[in-house]
Amino acid sequence: MNPKIKLGEALETAVLAARATGNLLRNNWHKPKKVNSSEAHDIKLELDVRCQEFIEKVLAHRFPQIPVLGEEGITGDVTGEYRWVIDPIDGTVNYASGIPHAAVSIALQKNEKSILGVIHDPFTNELWTTLRGGPTRLNGKTVRVSDTAKVGEAMLAFGFSKSQDNLVKCLPHLDRLSRRARKIRMMGSAALELAYVASGRLDAYIERRISLWDVAAGSLLVENAGGEFYTVPAPGKYRYAMCADNGKLRKKLQLGNLLE
């Protein structure tokens, strides 16, 4: 059984791990990247694995009893009371392509609910942090979601995988919203898109198929910043359909069968 976790110490440790991993990403920015696997619409780098192993080492130094559920693998029994949920490089394809839009995402969950979230963008030196029930902070300053209440004035982020089923479901909504909203962006890092919703830079972010490690930290950022994180379970383990918004737009977006 896990002892009671001191959240302040956990946050300090997660921030240390995120910042140090960000340094690793910057130090390797202009170096050749070793590709472990390449699929039609995704890339896995050797650096993804190395970053996750590094994060696990930092977290385990203070919290050896807490297992890790990460994009690059699982360490320990993640069905217990506590678990870390991490994405060592959220936006790997951006990073591998030389696009400086990627982040480190670390969450601590208790009974499968996020109670701590840290997202670090090493390219802008921005660090978002939050604890369950507290404010969301960007570099120490409290941030809030936007006040945008009209779809026509909204900045939306939209993402979807390229399976036939997803294209059939997503493209009609993309076509409709691209004509209704002020702007739509596809940015390639779920963690940063959630952080941007929490900061009021984006008004909503929609993704039909996404994994837990992509959203575990960012979802809490959004909720603690006054927004809404709406999910529906999707086929596959740790998979969801989701809409994160400022609490004023989701129903007006008329997403219907998209979030199925």
Mean pLDDT of 188-215: 96
The counts of H helices and E strands in the chain are 6, 15
Query: Alpha-carbon distance 226 to 14, whole Å?
Result: 23
Q: What is the C-alpha separation between 181 and 184, in angstroms, rounded?
A: 7
Residue 170 is predicted with a pLDDT of 86
Sort 98 into a burial class: Cβ within 10 Å, 0-12 / 13-18 / 19+. Answer: exposed
Q: Tell me the C-alpha distance between 12 and 85, whole Å.
A: 16
Lowest mean pLDDT among 116-125, 164-173, 219-228: 164-173
Helix or strand (DSSP H, E) at 11: helix 7-27
> Could you give the CA distance from residue 189 to residue 134 in angstroms, rounded to a whole number?
24
Instruction: Report the C-alpha gap between 247 and 177 in whole angstroms.
Output: 18
- Whether 164 has a pLDDT exceeding 90, the answer reads no
At 8, the pLDDT band (50, 70, 90 cuts) reads very high
Contact 214, 105 (CB under 8 A): yes
Pick the CATH number of 151-258 from 3.90.1170.40, 3.40.190.80, 3.30.200.20, 3.10.180.10: 3.40.190.80
Name the 3-class secondary structure at 192: helix
| Chain mean pLDDT for the chain | 92
Q: Is residue 120 over pLDDT 70?
A: yes
Distance in angstroms (rounded) separating the CA atoms of residues 208 and 49: 26
Q: At what angle do helices 212-224 and 190-198 cross, to 10 degrees?
A: 0
Cα torsion for 43, 102, 47, 68, to the nearest 10°?
A: -100
Residue 13, strand partner residues: none
**What integer pLDDT is reported at residue 44 of this predicted model?**
75
Mean pLDDT of 26-39: 78
Return the HEC string of 45-81: EHHHHHHHHHHHHHHHHHCCCCCEEECCEEECCCCCC
Q: Which residue has the higher pLDDT, 32 or 87?
A: 87
pLDDT at 1 (0 to 100): 43
Residues 6+ apart with CB under 8 A from 106: 14, 17, 18, 55, 59, 84, 85, 86, 117, 118, 119, 217
Q: Give me the CATH code for the 7-142 domain, please.
A: 3.30.540.10
Radius of gyration of the chain (CA): 17
| Res. 207 pLDDT band, cuts 50 70 90 | very high
236-260 pLDDT, tens per residue? 899 999 999 999 999 999 998 888 7
Whether residue 149 is predicted with pLDDT greater than 70 in this model: the reply is yes
Asked whether residue 100 carries a pLDDT value surpassing 80, the answer given is yes
Among 24-33, 38-47, 57-66, 218-227, the minimum mean pLDDT is found in: 38-47
The pLDDT of residue 214: 96
pTM of the model: 0.93
Q: Over the stretch 183-200, which tens digit does the pLDDT of each residue have?
A: 999 999 999 999 999 999
Q: What are the residue ranges spanned by the domains of the chain? A: 7-142, 151-258
